[in-house]
Amino acid sequence: MNKKLKLMLVDDHPLFRRGLASLLASYDERFDVVCEASDVTEALKLAKSTPVELILLDNHLPGVRGVDAIMLFKELDPELKIVMMTVSDDEDDLSQALKSGADGYLLKTSDSEQLADTLSRVIAGESVISPQMMNKLVDSMRNQNASPSEQNSPEKLADRLSPREREIVQLIAKGYSNKLIARELNIAETTVKIHIQHIFKKLELSSRLQVALFASSAGLQTAG
């Protein structure tokens, strides 16, 4: 029997929450929306008392914005997956969400039929972003790296990585989960997790999506 994936929906529109919960249940029986919240304060209380694996988090909430709450949720449980699901296509919101450790950024206009598969990928360790936002993210990174100091250039930061860590960065950029990385490199999955924590620390990053983007800017991506 497939394990139920426990989700929390955080959105100030009850009809949207109910519709999303119904949509997920109809597309994939593995998803179990165990709690809902209309603002960050309520969501934090629920997160402390109700075990969840993934939070679908809106940005425009009363009081504290979603992007400003990501780190608060991560402090409660670093393994908790957080996916922004919002109407905001603002580049600054996207950048802040990723820097704060969001595991994905989806627009509410995303294909509903692919949502369940997308969230399954996040649970498996991948990072996701709406295609509509990818161009904005790439443009933003190009602007940031247009005149980087030599010390902080992506290429110099990449020099901090060991050969094995470089391999793992390349596989993360290809969308591999921890399990697939372990299989590809013939090492234990726990070893992969340790390497990834070292990678986060050396590169001063906090999510797999950030690592994938770093790999692109540092020229570490591989073909295939």
Q: Which of 11-25, 108-122, 208-222 has the lowest mean pLDDT?
A: 208-222
pLDDT tens digits along 127-173: 888 877 877 776 666 555 554 445 567 777 888 899 999 999 999 88
Q: How buried is 130 (Cβ within 10 angstroms: 0-12 exposed, 13-18 middle, 19+ buried)? A: buried
Please say if the pLDDT value at position 123 is more than 50.
yes
Average pLDDT taken over every residue of the chain: 84
Residue 56 confidence (pLDDT) above 60: yes
**pLDDT at residue 223, as a whole number:** 46
**Distance of CA 73 to CAs 6, 49, 54, 57, 217, Å?**
15, 13, 10, 11, 29
CA 180 vs CA 4, 74, 87, 124, 192: distances in Å = 21, 24, 33, 10, 10
Does position 52 have pLDDT exceeding 80, yes or no? yes
Taking the domains of the chain in order of start, what are their residue ranges?
5-135, 147-217
Amino acid 193: pLDDT: 85
For domain 5-135, give the CATH number: 3.40.50.2300
Fold of 147-217: Arc Repressor Mutant, subunit A (1.10.10)
Q: Taking 60 as the threshold, does the pLDDT of residue 19 lie above it?
A: yes
Tens of pLDDT, residue by residue over 62-94, are 988 999 899 899 888 888 999 999 998 888 888
> Does residue 40 register a pLDDT over 90?
yes
- 3-state SS, residue 113: helix
